[in-house]
Structure 1
Amino acid sequence: MKVLKNFLYNSSYQLLVIMVPLLSTPYIARVIGSHGVGIYSYTNSLTQYFVLVADLGLTMFGTREIAYVRDNIEKRSAVFWGIVGLQICTTAIAMTLFYCFTNEYAHYHNYLIIQGLQILSLATDVSWYFVGIEDFKDVVLRNALFKILSLLLIFTLVKNPSDLFIYTVIMVATAVLGNMTLWPFMRTRVIAPWKAKIGNPIRYLLPSLALFVPQVAVQIYTVLNKVMLGNMISVTSAGIYDYSDKIIRTILAIVTSIGTVLLPHLASAYAKNDQETIDKYFRKAVEAIAFLSLPLAFGLAAIAPDFVKWFLGSDFRTAGGVVRILAPLVIIMAYSGLFGSALVSIKQTTGYTISVIAGCVVNVILNLLLIPYRGINGAAIATIVSETTVTLIQILWLHRCNFKFDSFIRCYRYLLASILMSIFVIMVQKVVSSNFAGLLVEGMLGVFVYGLLGLLLRFPIFEDITQIFNTIRKKN
């Protein structure tokens, strides 16, 4: 029940993550324009490399290590303060390197200075601790509050293209302040640093570096596309690709919360050598992801051109085709998120590292080959192939670790229902307008048809959902 509760918390927040861009993205796309969006995306992408240096794999490492000792407050406190100390050191190094680097980009210097504050926020980010102890409530409420605040500030202060700098300040400031607000909650959750047996924080450096390497690779093939498009084509192309990618990742957010919630739970089960629990939750997660990701991917591919035309405006008209190409990422990345979390949980970091480095290499090579000839579409194709490479390698590695994938066999029903639903939505498009009302009708009918097909095909997951509701009813 705790896993379900955390999933509901995280999913509720991810719904907010979806709603905020649904309101702000069309507004920013029209007010700032594709060129302004391109500048923001380009400078943010450059900054993320230094954010990665500041993080040094400590966020994922911290989550796992806290999960291992979550029932012992003394050990938990020692791990917490040791990782925080290391975070402060890596942030100081990253900030120094970044502000030396900004001198090379005179045109965007002011934007980079503000974006650089994201690096500073890493020193105060302790959200990994709450994920490790499976306390998602405080993190979700904090994130929700600052998402809403950023939305209100955008609508109040960003009025024309010259307000790009204000928009950048709003986005960065709310992220920085958001990290700081979790600290008051720590007072009752850990022992004071002068009482905890911290030891030498450097001892966490090597194991966190093992997770840093794959994170570098992930960052390269998720951010490099925009940097390469900005350098090889234009910052406008980078902005169009970035907003296409944002649509995918916004929809993906709900599904990937499954992997986020399961990471500490699997890590705790692994620490207790409870293989039965690991197998049970892994099987259920594989099926849950199919149930959610398949209809989302097929539905998005069906409505992509009309949705982008309404959502982003004529300045981003070419993004419709890009979104349709990227739609399979909803399925591919949902599974790579789960499999990556599973590998990290059972200390199979080598498999995780190999998978993402392979994806990085494939992505860079294909970007160099495809972007000059296919532009934005080439970058999208490169992303699909690289993410598929990552997922396949992770499957092979988990299979070696005796993870069972028999639940995939039960997923054919979700695939069939998703295909039929998307065909139905495409047929509906021919008789409804391509405005908000028309898209709403398409979406509601798509959900209805998928649910109806689920009843006809007897989705296996419906049995699990029924059992959960029966358990809740008995407790009440």
Structure 2
Amino acid sequence: METIQAKSKLAKNVFLLTVVQVAIYVLPLISVPVVSRIIGPGNYGIINFAAAFISYFTLIISYSFEFSASRRIIKDLDNRDHRNTVFTEVFYTQCFLFLVSTIAFAVLLVSIPEFRKNYMVFLFSYLLCFSTLFTQNWLFQAMQDLSKVALLNFVSRLLFTIAILIAVRKPEDYIWQPLLIGVIQGAIALCSFFWAKNKYGLTLKRLNISRIFQVLSEDKTIFISLVFVNLYSGTNTVILGLYANSEQVGYFTAGQRLIIIAQSVLTMPLAQALYPFVAKAFKEGKEHGIEVAQKIIPLIALFLGGAFLIMVTLGPWMIVIFYGAKFEPSALVFQLLALVPLLFSLNNVLGIQIMVNLQMDKQFLKVTAAAAIFSVTTNLILIRYWGYLGTAVNMLCTEMFIFICMYLVLRKSGINPINFKYFNTSLLREYATPMVNTILKKTRKRG
């Protein structure tokens, strides 16, 4: 009986998680082409610049609790008092971070001319910080209730898609996009907060303010790592917005967003099909894990290398079809970034699959820190000469920089992540066949 219930819960989770993935990648294909054509590159750049800037505050408020708090709950999952303690500490700490972030945001809003000029967009965008405060994804994750996260995410994205298609009718309506996102996600976050309190019997305890600073200190290592990742992945748009006009931000973010969608679609099947083999192999032994990683890299190079050629060739056509003729300058951004999915996947194998599995945490942190410094410095230089195209070049160069650094760190540690003998065509077929057969078996079982 328990086995049947477990299978039923698994099937439900798989279905709902699949639905939310469809929502993440399909619903924007409906709303973005319509909205971008109406508001134009300039207004599109303004809302994306504001969103990129606000992401710093959402990062601060969420801190690293999605990782650290979940881990603390799992250590004593069935202890209700322990659960209440963690819940209290996380929520009050986030309230403190929200207060600090709000004060900092208010100061920046009145101090920076570009922010004052578009203050309504920034104010509406800041509503996402409110939803971040009440979002309890870390708790659902710890309680193995991910289906609720999937369902709430799907509802919020569906409501936003419907609302934005109704609200945006003319270029001036671009300000409603961040407002709709903030209001809808805020409402969903509040619902999830009180739903989690009731379901798991959570209560807020009294908490000494000194404990808040202790929590911040205990989880600072993971938070610093996330800051570095954000610096080299999300700062490009902010720096571009400070040094260039909104049209250039619009051109860059349009090309970048289409690459992100393509990257997600292309790399997700690889992650699901190939990476579990690496994790399993490392459990059996270091040498076996490295060997499997070496065999996977040629498969990634073949698949995403082919995708790169297709995207470079069809880039201009894809941009015009998706965004409209006004965004034609974004085509070159898309073509410059077409190599990013390949580099991203290779960096994932070298960094996450090899370095993390081998507990090379310090080396991994050093690489991400170096990448953050490299990205910010290079972007400041290239923007002055090439504008939004310089930002695209910087994003590409940063991924290359990460790949080179990780490769050199691994080689210095006596690990060769790339073995060219596995690039042989016959060997590629030999190693790909068992992986494909395993995936097909799993698919038939789910069916």
Tell me the TM-score normalised to structure 2 length. 0.79
**In the alignment, structure 1 residue 128 sits paired with structure 2 residue 99:** no
The superposition leaves residues 324-380 of structure 1 with CA deviations (integer Å, 9 ceiling, x where unpaired) of 100111122234456655667887543333222211221122222222222222111
Counterpart of 2:438 in structure 1 is 467
1:34-433 alignment runs, 5 A limit: 34-66=41-73, 69=75, 73=79, 78-104=85-111, 105-132=115-142, 135-183=145-193, 186-187=196-197, 190=200, 192-193=202-203, 200=211, 202-254=213-265, 275-276=283-284, 283=292, 293-337=304-348, 349-394=361-406, 405=417, 410=422
Question: Does the Cα contact within 8 Å between 1:259 and 1:341 map onto a contact in 2?
Answer: no
Structure 1 position 73, deviation (Å): 4.6
Q: Secondary structure at the match of 1:130?
A: helix
Aligned partners of 1:64 and 1:345 also within 8 Å: no
Separation in 1 of the partners of 2:351 and 2:88? 26
Residue 449 of structure 1: aligned partner: none
State the partner residue of 1:32: 39
Q: 1:292 to 1:170 in 2, by over 3 A?
A: farther
CA gap 1:365/1:472 in 2 versus in 1, 3 angstroms:
closer
Match for residue 14 of structure 1? Answer: 21
Shift, 1:145, TM fit:
1.7
Distance 1:145 1:239 in 2: 27
For this pair of structures, how many residues does the alignment match?
Answer: 427
1:318 positional shift? 0.9
- Equivalent residue for 1:435? none
Q: Would you say the 8 A contact 1:55–1:91 is kept in 2?
A: no
Cα distance between partner residues in 2 of 1:133 and 1:353? 29
Percent of aligned positions with the same letter in both sequences?
19
Q: Find the aligned partners of 1:203 and 1:297 in 2 and give their Cα distance.
A: 47
Q: In structure 2, what is the Cα distance between the partners aligned to 1:261 and 1:63?
A: 23
Call closer, same or farther: CA 1:254–1:310 in 2, change over 3 Å.
closer
Asked if the contact 2:88–2:207 (Cα under 8 Å) also holds between the matched residues in 1, the reply is no
In the TM superposition, residue 312 of structure 1 has moved relative to its aligned partner by 1.1
Provide the C-alpha distance between the structure 2 equivalents of 1:62 and 1:339, rounded to a whole number of angstroms. Answer: 27
In structure 2, what is the equivalent of residue 23 of structure 1? 30
Q: What one-letter code is carried by the residue in structure 2 that aligns with 1:23?
A: I
Q: CA deviation at 1:106?
A: 1.8
Q: How far did residue 32 of structure 1 move?
A: 0.5
Q: Is the 8 A contact 1:289 1:334 kept in 2?
A: yes
Gaps of 5+ in 2: 1-6
Check conservation: 1:62, 1:83, Cα contact below 8 A.
yes
Displacement of 1:250: 1.5
**Structure 1 residues 191 and 349: alpha-carbon distance in aligned structure 2, compared to 1, 3 A threshold:** farther
Aligned partners of 2:240 and 2:383 also within 8 Å? yes
Give 2:429's aligned residue: 458
1:305 CA drift (Å): 1.0
Deviation at 1:115, TM superposition (A): 1.1
Q: Which amino acid aligns with 1:218?
A: V
Q: How far 1:58 moved relative to its partner?
A: 2.8
SS in 2 for 1:123: helix
Bigger drift between 240-249 and 213-222 goes to 213-222
> Within 2, Cα distance between the matches of 1:134 and 1:277?
29
User: Per the alignment, do residues 470 and 275 of structure 1 end up closer, same or farther by CA in structure 2, a change over 3 Å counting?
Assistant: closer
Aligned partner of residue 32 in structure 1, secondary structure: helix
On the 8 A contact 1:58/1:87 being kept in 2, the answer is no
Distance 1:460-1:402 versus aligned 2 partners, 3 A rule: same
| Distance in 1 (alpha carbons) for counterparts of 2:378 and 2:28 | 30
The answer to whether the Cα contact below 8 Å between 2:12 and 2:147 also exists between their aligned partners in 1 is: no
Q: What's the offset of the Cα at 1:27? A: 1.1
Q: Deviations over 1:224-275 (max 9, x none)?
A: 322332232311101110111111111222456589999xx99xx99xxx93
Q: What is the rounded CA distance, in whole Å, between the counterparts of 1:76 and 1:339 in structure 2?
A: 36
Q: Report what 2:4 is aligned to.
A: none
| RMSD across aligned positions (CA) | 4.3
Q: Secondary structure at the match of 1:192?
A: coil
Contact 1:18 1:251 in 2 (8 A): no
The CA distance in 1 between the partners of 2:249 and 2:202, in whole Å, is 46
Amino acid aligned to 1:372: R
- The within-5 A match list for 1:434-449 is none
5+ residue gaps, structure 1: 414-453
Give the C-alpha shift of residue 91 in structure 1.
Answer: 1.7
Deviation (angstroms), 1:468 = 4.3
Q: Given that residues 241 and 376 in structure 1 are in contact (C-alpha distance below 8 angstroms), is that contact kept between their aligned partners in structure 2?
A: yes
Instruction: Indicate if the aligned counterparts of 1:99 and 1:113 stay in contact, CA closer than 8 A.
Output: no
Tell me how far apart the structure 2 counterparts of residues 373 and 212 of structure 1 sit (CA, whole Å): 34
CA deviation map 1:14-35 (0-9, x unaligned): 3332212221221121100111
TM-aligned CA deviation for residue 471 of structure 1: 5.4
2:397 match: secondary structure: helix
Q: Which one-letter code corresponds to 2:122 in the other structure?
A: L
CA distance in 1, matches of 2:100, 2:211: 19
Q: Which moved more, 1:3-12 or 1:460-469?
A: 3-12
Evaluate the alpha carbon distance shift between residue 412 and residue 188 of structure 1 in structure 2; reply closer, same or farther with a 3 A threshold.
farther
* Pair 464,185 (structure 1): closer, same or farther in 2 beyond 3 Å: farther
Alpha-carbon distance in structure 2 between the residues aligned to 1:203 and 1:106: 36
**Contact persistence 1:255–1:334 (CA under 8 A):** no
Provide Cα deviations, 1:144-187, integer angstroms capped at 9, x if missing partner. Answer: 22111111111111100111121221122233233334335535
